[in-house]
Structure 1
């Protein structure tokens, strides 16, 4: 397994820095083709003029702004990709549905990997929800790049947040191309429970054995803390071990961005100290 078609989601001109550095390095390391994508939402709600009819001038102005923003992002992406000499193409989709549109989802589902920027906590609620829904409805692994990373770095140290769930297994195997290239991979379990088939101390041992057969340099560890939150334990581990990539499973339930450890996904993704690959 490898990544041969990668979708890079462009949302802001600020992505000309660290985000595109990551995208270019990953595309190059896997000799892949990259698709730059921007989905722009144009508000379909009629703007009412004093005569209570749609105001065509205002509507056209919104469309023009959307086209200008898409053109700017396309120019940034195309110039960088051409300069790097990688295989690439650019897609802009301007519609009333934005990232929730079927054409955007279709583009994502035909890719091996999605690379996207960390979702800004300051983004409007509706826009944030649409973007989050797109990432997980795509059915593809999503690599989120932190805003704080201004320069790309290799994923030499990787940590897999593991509890044996379907989501954790999916994320682990979706990340296998990165795991095989990494120098160190840690299977990390927080407050694992005993089961009738396995003692808590052995949690992660079996998946570690499986990964080792793929040539992954892997170890399995666990942490126990009576009152500490899972997010805090994971964040501390990321910092203490200078982890470059966090791999974790996620699922949607009553709310978006729920994590296999019991709903700490948003905490982790808002603080993001490491690039994070998620699957569900």
Structure 2
């Protein structure tokens, strides 16, 4: 297994250079084709009070701003691709649904790996990113907004809870795992099962990955009152992890939006490259 089609989500000019550079670096590593994608969202119709009639001037101004952004993003992508000489294509879409549009999803679901920016959690709407994680059916590699240049992936940590989502993420990440210097399976508060003590959590996964030639170790740990997200973040820092691999939205997305959850917490405080699958 390897990655042969890498899709770069170029949502804004602020992220376009960062994500294009990451996608190109990965394409060079895996001899892959890069697909740059930008989805232009049609603005909601502004209304003039008190009659609530559509404001044509405001609509035109919003659409023109969106067109300018699309052209700017495309120019950045094409310039970086021309400089690199890598096989690549550009796709732009216009709809009222943004990245959730059916045409966008058809393109996204044909990729081996999606590369997207975490963005600045203090200033950006996360709905587009969450749509990709929840609906694409493809692994998403998220780049922290503070990480401006591609880095080698030498140390990997798999956040393992035995869920379907975590299993999918672990095997979606195999191309990275097989070339990493070290891979740690990190089990937090492993459950006691009727036919298996918690000390054996992750053992089957470790054996399966080792058969792929992965240099894997297994660590089980109690949270000691810490949240799962905080314990994972501490482990990432302690081990200088380059890539976190984990399942996304193991519970309902709406539950996480209302009450918080590991996925949302890590999206907001991301410190390492993170590959998530659902």
TM-score after normalising by structure 2: 0.92
Partner of 1:176: 174
Partner of 1:235: 233
How far the C-alpha of 1:9 sits from its partner, in A, is 0.4
Whether 1:164 and 2:157 are equivalent positions in the alignment is no
Partner of 1:66: 66
Instruction: Give, in whole Å, the separation in 2 of the partners of 1:35 and 1:136.
Output: 20
Superposed structure 1 runs of 4+ greater than 4 Å apart: 49-53, 256-259
How many residue pairs match? The answer is: 276
TM-score after normalising by structure 1: 0.91
How far the C-alpha of 1:239 sits from its partner, in A, is 0.4
Partner of 2:88: 88
Contact 1:133 / 1:256 at 8 angstroms: preserved in 2?
Answer: no
Stretches of structure 2 lacking an aligned partner (at least 5 in a row): none
Whether 1:97 and 2:97 are equivalent positions in the alignment is yes
Stretches of structure 1 lacking an aligned partner (at least 5 in a row): none
Alignment of 1:243-258 (within 5 A): 243-251=241-249, 253-255=251-253, 258=256
Query: SS state of the match for residue 192, structure 1?
Result: coil
- Per-residue CA distance 1:32-66 (angstroms, 9 max, x = gap): 11111111212242544887643333222211111
Of 128-137 and 100-109, more deviation after overlay is shown by 128-137
Alignment of 1:101-120 (within 5 A): 101-120=101-120
Contact 1:132 / 1:256 at 8 angstroms: preserved in 2?
Answer: no
Whether 1:5 and 2:5 are equivalent positions in the alignment is yes
C-alpha distance 25-130 of structure 1, shift in aligned 2 (>3 A): closer
Query: SS state of the match for residue 118, structure 1?
Result: strand
C-alpha distance 55-269 of structure 1, shift in aligned 2 (>3 A): closer
Instruction: Give, in whole Å, the separation in 2 of the partners of 1:63 and 1:145.
Output: 29
Instruction: Give, in whole Å, the separation in 2 of the partners of 1:17 and 1:257.
Output: 34
Partner of 1:43: 43
- Per-residue CA distance 1:199-219 (angstroms, 9 max, x = gap): 111111111110011011101
How far the C-alpha of 1:142 sits from its partner, in A, is 0.5
Question: Pick from 261, 264, 268: which aligns with 1:263?
Answer: 261
Partner of 2:126: 128
Whether 1:199 and 2:194 are equivalent positions in the alignment is no
Query: SS state of the match for residue 253, structure 2?
Result: coil
How far the C-alpha of 1:258 sits from its partner, in A, is 4.8
How far the C-alpha of 1:96 sits from its partner, in A, is 1.5
C-alpha distance 257-26 of structure 1, shift in aligned 2 (>3 A): farther
